[in-house]
Chains A and B, each alone.
Chain A
Amino acid sequence: MALESQTDVSTLTATQQSVRAQRHVLLTLSRVWAWVFLIALIVFFSLSVSITSEGDVNFLTLRNSQNILIAITPVLLMGLGQTFVIIAGGIDLSVGWVMGLSSVISALLARDLVARGIDPTPAIFLAFAGGIAASGMVGLINGLIIARLKVPPFIVTLGVSFIVRGVALLFSGGQTVAGLPTQLRDFGNESLLYWVGGGANQLHFLRRPEVTGEQLRALDRILGWPVVITAIVVAIAIFLLHKTQFGRHTYAIGGNKEAALRAGVPVDRHTILLYVMSAVTAGIAGLLHSARFSGGSPTAGDPLLLGSIAAVVIGGVSLFGGVGQISGTVIGALIIAVLQTGLVMLGVEAFWQFIVVGSVVILAVLIDQSRDLIIGRAES
């Protein structure tokens, strides 16, 4: 009898231990699930692209990595400000057209200032300042109406987005603003580092090497200026959200606005600042658009709005507020871009691409939600 019960106890402990170990693995996995998902996607595309092309095409190349990084810049910039706004329990639907407005204003300024005889470099700086200022104004209007008049952000930013759209179209006359200085084009398309591959294998810093013909094809731009700018904004956003009082207040307002107010958090002022910030990051995206495509386009950001919100949500920011991280938004944007690039490289037909991207967005959010369940269960 005694012996039997002893065996019982030891088996029980063994199962308990294995259950505990399983939980531990699940818990760790669920904390880094977005990374896991991203890496899984990359592995999947690396294998499938190379298999379907019989080794001719590689997914994991320097050039492709740079293509993906460039591709996420506008979505990510819009998503960064949005992350703050959503964590604080709001939403900003105006960022798409704010990006367009900023693109148009900066392009008009750059063109007209250079035409007035101002040197291109200071003209571009002034143009950028103008684009940012215009965006900031829109954010200020959003913030003032939301904070002072207590109108729901969904309504305010939707309404404001219509107005901004009208303004952007008016300023541009409904067409792409052309005739920008070539320095702007260079800023949008050149990079911090250059790698000349194809046997030469040289790394150049800041200055593009003079190459022609075949070597031109072997020239890779590493960390294009838009990527560098975006990386700086990401770093600032991480610092602000996770290291400063500003970030702490953002979470507090999203968690319990009333409590934050009673605790002395300047909720109204903070809310206004959040919408200004959101508009400004979208504005930066607009500047970079003008530079990359050497044209100020009022419609530049409109198609990107939903993608940017998707990136934020995939990254684990709760639309109910209070929860989320900048790194999540970065990974969210990367997941979408890797998916889109991978599907094109696989040669998947366009209509299927829509279906796959949509499904993955839903899947990602579902996994994120069940993550809370897993953590809850594992901790109890």
Chain B
Amino acid sequence: MSKRFLLLTLVGLLVLSIAPMLAVAQDDDTITIGFLPGVVDPFYQVMEIGVRQAVEDSALPVELVVQIPENFNPSVQTPILDALVARGDLDYLIIAATDKEQLIAPLQAAHDAGIEIISVDTFIGDGDYVNGPVTFPLSYIGSDNVEGGRIAAEALAENVGGTGKVYIQNVTPGISTTDQRAQGFREGIAEFPDMEVVSEDFNNDDENTSVQQTSATLERESDLVGIFGTNVFSANGAGIAVQNAGLSDAVDVIAFDATTFAVEQLRAGVVSLVIAQKPFDMGYLAVQFAIAHNQGVSSLPKRVPTGYAVIDIENVDDPEVARFIYQVE
């Protein structure tokens, strides 16, 4: 039993050590681009569609290598990254780093191995690739989550007339994207003197917990006017709690990320606003940057904010807005 296991391991190691050599044998004109998103989810799936579209639209031969981690977690992403580097044929790597500190070293190693790095959605270091601690990546293309939170706050404030108490349903402390959205939301609300964030709870990405916490908060704060859900589950749970308390008219619920499910809940009246990022743009731009760099363009911007779209029940059918829904099929 254990002998056979040992044998298998050895054979596996042998194959792994030979594989890169086989892969290197490729002609030189092709631009090889690796795409390594954070996890399997509609957001990154749409980004992948953008990546593939750009590859298709390219006049130059581009070879694409896609790897998707099972978990949004640096310890899952790093080995995949190392394996991609070990192939030895990548010219560019488009990556949504799952941790801004822990991915620096492995990406530095990739860069040292001759691979140019483009950050999408998330960044490493502090995201400032000009003056910050990390400058080796070509560019960071993504929406600023703090900005997204601020936009959510402004949209909510406009809906409720700039006064009242609001509540934040967040996922898990320590996730940079959702933490930044919450932070931006607080900053945005602070601009309105008659508005106040009463509290923030963490639902562990569980809709049931989100319902429970929101219901309890609604009991405590009878004059709540709005809830910001930092992701779709948070907002959906909050929206269901609001609906079952008969408060749909009084409390607005904002969802972050325009998944088809979020939009469906918007149409059902469970959430009132959906903040859409532009993952397609991120993926498409990143590939274009890689190709441009390959062709000698040297003045690529180090930072490209892709911005947001705010979707509500009035504009959801407008094709100009609807195209920002994360439609996978």
Q: Which residues of A contact B (CB under 8 A)?
A: 49, 53, 56-58, 61, 63-64, 67-68, 70-71, 73-74, 166, 169, 173-179, 182, 185, 189, 211, 213, 215-219, 221, 289, 292-295, 297, 299-300, 303-304, 337, 340-342, 344-345, 347, 349-351, 353
Contact = CB atoms under 8 A, between A and B. Distances in A.
A217 B212 contact: no
Given A344-B199, A345-B219, 10 more contacts: A73-B208, A174-B41, A174-B45, A175-B259, A185-B268, A189-B243, A294-B265, A295-B265, A300-B206, A347-B198
Given A217-B245, A303-B209, A344 B261 contact: no
Main secondary structure of the interface of A (DSSP, over half): helix
B259 A176 contact: yes
Contacts of A221: 244
A340 B173 contact: no
A175 B204 contact: no
Contacts of B207: 289, 292-293, 297, 300
A294 B261 CA distance: 9
A341 to B, nearest CB: 5
B212 A340 contact: yes
B321 interface: no
Contact of A71 (B173, B211, B261, B265): B211
Given A71-B211, A294-B268, A350-B200, A175 B41 contact: yes
A295 B233 CA distance: 10
7 contacts: A49-B220, A176-B261, A178-B264, A289-B207, A293-B207, A294-B264, A304-B206
A292 B220 contact: no
B11 interface: no
Contacts of B205: 299, 303
B328 A175 contact: yes
Contacts of B244: 189, 221
A217 B247 contact: yes
A63 B219 contact: yes
A63 B245 contact: yes
B246 to A, nearest CB: 4
Contacts of A292: 207-208, 211, 240
B187 interface: no
B201 interface: yes
Interface string B196-238: 0011111011111101110111011010000000001100110
A57 B216 CA distance: 10
A232 B171 CA distance: 32
B307 interface: no
Contacts of B208: 71, 73-74, 289, 292, 304
Given A176-B259, A303-B205, A293 B220 contact: no
B294 interface: no
A166 B265 CA distance: 26
B42 interface: yes
Given A175-B259, A175-B261, A303-B206, A169 B216 contact: no
B109 interface: no
A174 B42 contact: yes
A219 B246 CA distance: 7
A15 B256 CA distance: 68
A41 to B, nearest CB: 14
3 nearest A-B residue pairs (beta carbon):
A174-B40, A216-B246, A344-B216
Interface in B240-266: 240, 243-247, 249-250, 259-261, 264-265
Given A63-B245, A293-B240, A173 B204 contact: no
Contacts of A218: 246
Contacts of A341: 212, 215-216
A179 B262 CA distance: 11
Given A217-B245, A218-B246, A295 B261 contact: yes
Tell me which of B198, B207, B237 has the highest count of chain A C-beta atoms within 10 A of its own C-beta.
B207
Contact of B213 (A174, A213, A216, A344): A344
Contacts of A68: 212
B45 A64 contact: no
B246 A217 contact: yes
Contact of B220 (A53, A178, A217, A295): A53
A347 B220 contact: yes
A64 B42 contact: no
A307 to B, nearest CB: 9
Contacts of B216: 64, 67, 340-342, 344-345
Contacts of B250: 217
Contacts of B206: 300, 303-304
Contacts of B213: 340, 344
Nearest to B42: A175
